Amino acid sequence: MSETSAAPVMVLYTAEATATGGRAGHAASSDGRLDVDLSVPAEIGGDAGPGTNPEQLFAAAYAACFQGAMGVVARRDNLSIDGATVTARVGLGPMGQAFGITVELSVRLPEIGDRATAEDLVAKAHQVCPYSNATRNNVDVRLTVV
């Protein structure tokens, strides 16, 4: 089953990971760099065991990817993002008969003193970031400069 959507002209890298056991199982990448136990958060009826969960993994990945996109934009605009941090908060909840997620990206840019410049950089990064492009018009993503 394949969905028609915008796709890169050329794929430069493909990550591969396999999950077993669902939310209370295990996930590992084909190259062995990622190898994690999964557990269900207590807030959604799980035991909050020692593992991580898909929302934490997505939050970490989106935050890292977004910071990379900010670096691309900063280089283009001759800005410094030294000391910058991106904190992603991924929420999970019911959406009709299914479940959906929300995302808040909280961005700290200590080297950029002008708020308008910081907000412009974040808005441009949101256009460049592959995760932002994947979620656009499908997931509520809020951007906040702190």
Q: Taking the domains of the chain in order of start, what are their residue ranges?
A: 1-52, 54-145
- Is the pLDDT confidence value at 129 over 60? yes
- Mean pLDDT across 110-136: 97
Taking each helix axis from N to C end, the angle separating 115-128 and 54-76, rounded to the nearest 10 degrees, works out to: 110
Q: What is the pLDDT of residue 1?
A: 55
pLDDT digits (tens, 9 = 90+) for 34-72: 999 999 999 999 987 889 999 999 999 999 999 999 999
Q: What is the pLDDT of residue 3?
A: 52
Amino acid 145 reads V
52: left (phi over 0), alpha (psi -120 to 50) or beta: beta
Fold match flag (1-52 vs 54-145): no
Q: What is the pLDDT of residue 9?
A: 87
**Region 54-145: CATH code:** 3.30.300.20
Per-residue pLDDT band at 123 (split at 50, 70, 90) = very high
Q: What is the pLDDT of residue 5?
A: 59
Instruction: Yes or no: say if 81 and 70 are a contact pair by the CB < 8 Å rule.
Output: yes
What class is the 1-52 domain? mainly beta
